[in-house]
Amino acid sequence: MRQFIVTGMSCAACQSKVEKFVSNVEGVTSVSVSLLTNSMGVEGTATDSDIISAVEKAGYGASIKGANAEKTQSAKASGTYAEEDLLKDRETPILKRRLLFSVIFLIVLMYITMGHNMLHLPLPSYFENNFVALAITQMLIAIIVMLINGKFFTSGFTSLMQLSPNMDTLVALGSSVSFAWSLYVVYKMCGMLANGIPYMELKNIYHDELYFESAAMIPALITIGKMLEAMSKGRTTNALKSLVKLAPKTAVLINNGVEKKVNVDEVKVGDMFIVRPGESIPVDGKIIDGESAVNESALTGESVPVDKKEGDMVSAATINQNGVLWCKATRVGKDTTLSQIINMVSEAAATKAPIARIADKVSGVFVPAVMGIALIVTIGWLIAGADVSEALARGISVLVISCPCALGLATPVAIMVGNGMGARRGILYKTSEALELTGKADICVMDKTGTITTGQPVVTDICPVEGMDKEALLSLAYAIEYKSEHPLAKAIVSHASEAGIELIEVDDFKALPGNGIEATIDGTVLLAGSLKFIGGRADIDAVYIDKADELSTEGKTPLLFASDRKLVGIIAVADTLREDSAEAISGLKAMGLKTVMLTGDNERTARAIASKADVDEVIAGVLPEGKADAIAKLKSKGKVIMVGDGINDAPALTSADIGIAIGAGTDVAIDSADIVLMNSNISDVVSAVDLSRATLKNIKENLFWAFFYNLICIPLAAGLFGLRLNPMIGAAAMSLSSFTVCMNALRLNLHGIKR
């Protein structure tokens, strides 16, 4: 997906208009515009210039995301500083300046209209009973305030002329109609004065029919709302900003033993760099020398440092805590784990959740509908016998109290906060759709090896025959399995090594067909393998056959060992449950999800593991290519989450409604998954579902308040409840609606995510 920055949007109607223009470009297959981040994601074969041209034809500005920022030295550093530059809040300072200058003149205007007229505060004697002069003074001040907030008028009337009215159109019309009517009244007063109309009639018209204060207050109050909206929108992107700020700025390279401090953008793949205690690791790399504990909480959310040694991988923005590390750069710039995470969170914000389509449909017709309602209200009151000023006041109130912004922000602000919360905990949603759908799942399917289990077999039982002790059996097993590459052999070798068993050299080592190996020690033939393999080459007492069956029933793999065609013992190896598997599965079931274990292992082993984990259903003996078929069958019963390692389970992850890659480590760019869990903890699946549900609930709350606000306020402004709503009050209400939606989204940060 290509990313663009769109400038000049003010509401959901603008967003809808940009999407409409770009979607009509030949070669564009999908387009999604975010009002929150002013970003646009486009897929298809259309050229960048054609896309930008379409946006400009719609009346807005566009540029390729990061194009301007990357011209700076800092932007080249890791591919993330461009993002930092784009996330910088430039809107709030501009709005603050506009508001400050507006307030200065509004104080003078309100002193005249309320302080002098209502509270009888003093004015220069020239203005005493000089109502025409007072009216002209109000007009001049209103013009100044309207010029200060001229962006509303240029944007609003431009959109109106393009037959695509937006929120600025409502503001511009409301303020302009107030001003135009008041200007008419000024001319009317001048005519009355010229014709010798009594003073009291001028006074009544001056007090009752002028709306210059509304003409000035409407754009000023909307500016307050836009400023509050911009500030709260800025807070919703704090999680992404904090990730961007983590990116290191410098690195210490080593070349022929000489250290040189450079900008991180100068580091290339293959360069050697050194990281001392307390320093951030500048790029992704492999440890060549040294040992240390590395704090990876910036990427995974886990506060416990991870011990690292020679051969281990390290990631940019993690903190070296104690030892000195010499590393070789493996991924730099936009390829680092941090940059991938930032890009993933950013792209997710640019995509659109399915629930947002409700607001999109309304936004496309909202502003024209409001303009029509305002016209009907004005005409209706005139027909009902109201004077022109009252009818106009009600029509203007309808214009300025309506808020399409709240509709446009209802979904993206919650999505951004939810994505940020997930990113801080190592849960990366690739799209807004993934964030929404995860909480709607009915079934959670999990791979066994590496997901429910650790994926690292360990020795569980050592059963020597009568006359042989455990240490002797383990020594024999260590000797024959040492040269084997089988994962089960590695478990025995590791166990013997940790037990301090001395390694005995064997001769004539060879792997044999039928799951077995053979070697000799001083001419004695040693055999190791399955019950079937050893049973065909050595004598086995029925007691040990039963023991092997018992171990298999428990989900363990029995390995039999023989010397000179006589059984010497059995060592059982098993892939053990993750520490958090049972608790996580219990949590999923408590949330109403059916749990299924999908594995290629045999039925007996699978059911033994499933019993320990308390999984609802087991589907065993399925090859990787058959897992997708199993998922397809389950989808007929409800929405399915598939949890796997992101490699062998790729077909199943793609087939499921939501694919979750667990144990991805630093390789976050897993195409087949919709969600990536950085921590390799299955408990994060529970967190992902819970966060999705909390975010979806927040979106529904936002949409409710956005619709409810307009549903109540528009009739109220129209006078259907018998109230006369001043246009200034309508503008104030509009200014707070978007702010309320944004603050409700920020409340999501208080949600305690289940684990």
Instruction: Kindly report, residue by residue over 472-529, the tens digit of the pLDDT.
Output: 999 999 999 998 878 788 899 999 999 999 999 989 898 876 568 999 998 899 999 8
The CA distances from residue 561 to 484, 497, 545, in Å, are: 14, 18, 13
Across 101-115, 322-336, 511-525, least confident range: 511-525
All residues at 6 or more sequence positions from 565 whose CB lies less than 8 Å from its CB, including other chains: 525, 527, 537, 538, 539
Is there a contact between 584 and 662 (Cβ–Cβ < 8 Å)?
A: no
Residue 363 has pLDDT above 80, yes or no: no
* pLDDT winner (highest mean) among 17-26, 123-132, 153-162: 17-26
Across 287-296, 301-310, 709-718, least confident range: 301-310
* Rg of the chain on CA atoms, in Å: 35
Across 431-440, 519-528, 618-627, 642-651, least confident range: 642-651
**What are the φ/ψ torsions at residue 587 (nearest 5 degrees)?**
-65, -40
Coil vs helix vs strand at 594: strand
Coil vs helix vs strand at 622: coil
Coil vs helix vs strand at 434: helix
pTM for the full predicted model: 0.74
Please measure the distance between the N-terminal and C-terminal CA atoms of the chain and give it in whole angstroms: 32
Instruction: Kindly report, residue by residue over 36-61, the tens digit of the pLDDT.
Output: 777 888 989 999 999 999 999 888 88
**What is the residue-wise DSSP string for 52-105?**
HHHHHHTT-EEEETTTTGGGSTGGGTTS-HHHHHHHS--HHHHHHHHHHHHHHH
Residues 632 and 323: their CA atoms lie apart, in Å, by 50
Residues 115 and 121: their CA atoms lie apart, in Å, by 5
What does the block give as tokens for 299? 């990427």
pLDDT at 89: 65
pLDDT at 565: 86
Which letter does DSSP use for residue 574 in this model?
A: E
* Band of residue 433 on the pLDDT scale cut at 50, 70, 90: confident
Residue 590 has pLDDT above 90, yes or no: yes
pLDDT at 81: 44
* Band of residue 692 on the pLDDT scale cut at 50, 70, 90: very high
pLDDT at 80: 44
* Band of residue 657 on the pLDDT scale cut at 50, 70, 90: very high
Between 137 and 453, name the one with better pLDDT: 137
pLDDT at 239: 63
Mind telling me the catalytic residues?
447
For helices 167-194 and 212-236, give the axis angle rounded to 10 degrees: 160
Residue 315 has pLDDT above 60, yes or no: yes
* Band of residue 76 on the pLDDT scale cut at 50, 70, 90: very low
Coil vs helix vs strand at 431: coil
pLDDT at 485: 79
Residues 752 and 599: their CA atoms lie apart, in Å, by 33
The CA distances from residue 695 to 387, 426, 540, 569, 701, in Å, are: 49, 17, 61, 56, 10
pLDDT at 9: 82
Exposed / middle / buried, residue 455 (Cβ in 10 Å: 0-12, 13-18, 19+): middle
All residues at 6 or more sequence positions from 172 whose CB lies less than 8 Å from its CB, including other chains: 152, 153, 155, 156, 157, 160
Q: Which helix (H) or strand (E) holds 320?
A: strand 319-320
Residues 243 and 150: their CA atoms lie apart, in Å, by 36
Residue 165 has pLDDT above 60, yes or no: yes
pLDDT at 74: 41
pLDDT at 69: 44
Is there a contact between 282 and 300 (Cβ–Cβ < 8 Å)?
A: no
pLDDT at 206: 83
